[in-house]
Amino acid sequence: MKWFVNCNDIIQGPFDNTEVPTVLKNVGTQSTFLWSRGMSDWIHADKWSPSIAKSPEYERNFASMETHISPASAHTTLGAPRLNIATKYKVQYDFKDQKEMTYEQLVQFTMQQSDVSKIAVYDPATQEWREIYAIPEVVERLGLSRRKNSRVPILAQFSGQSGKEQKINCRVVTISVAGFGFTNIFDLSIGDVVRGQITSPHFFTPLNVEAEVTYTGSDGYIGLRFSQINDDTLALITEYVNKFGDKTEIT
């Protein structure tokens, strides 16, 4: 068992079960959380014990995280599109008409929106506008739910650079099918584009991503929306969000 200790957003570790008590004694428990591979979220230090790894819930989570969608099976797992990919569809966002889109363009457009509930597609058969949740091909492929794009806590690191050639190496704290958030960065502005890799023990390979900054906080939190992402990467993120999204709150 290896544990990471997060005290006031400073992560230390990994530590084994025998080392954790000493670490907690040194840093205190008031603002301290622990995480180990297979857990869906950080736990408060007061709830930690060496026996927690033997709990049925932990063992189920750990076992499930050992299996990932392989690149070869990603398309089969997510479901092949049943729409006519050559057809162009009328699309609205927040009741405003968008350019007509093919199926692939609709998928990319949906993935880039912070609030997919505002997307509607015109159904010529019924002559009605249908919300994106009524389009099973898109819902299945992106793993959407009416919970919008749940931001799921994750232990991960981003390494790359911005369009200004500024090197970035920081901790990723949340991820969704639409984007991710990292912290302790103060030199990025809304509209900036970053390119690099997300690495995490939850993924068997680094994820190559390109994303645009959509939010900057005074506390150094940066929210980003994916602008380029391949199907294999999307498959891995979708699997992770679907697995742990129901255990988190929408933020």
What is the full per-residue pLDDT of the chain (251 aa) written as tens digits? Answer: 678 888 876 777 778 888 899 989 888 888 788 887 766 567 888 888 877 755 545 444 443 333 332 222 222 222 333 445 557 888 988 778 899 988 888 888 888 887 787 888 887 776 778 878 777 777 766 766 654 456 788 889 999 999 877 899 999 988 988 889 888 887 888 889 999 999 998 898 899 999 998 888 777 788 888 988 888 898 899 888 878 765 433 33
Cα 175 → chain centroid:
2
φ and ψ at residue 61, rounded to 5 degrees: -65, -45
pTM: 0.45
CATH of region 152-247: 2.40.10.220
Give the Cα separation of 16 and 2 in Å (integer): 5
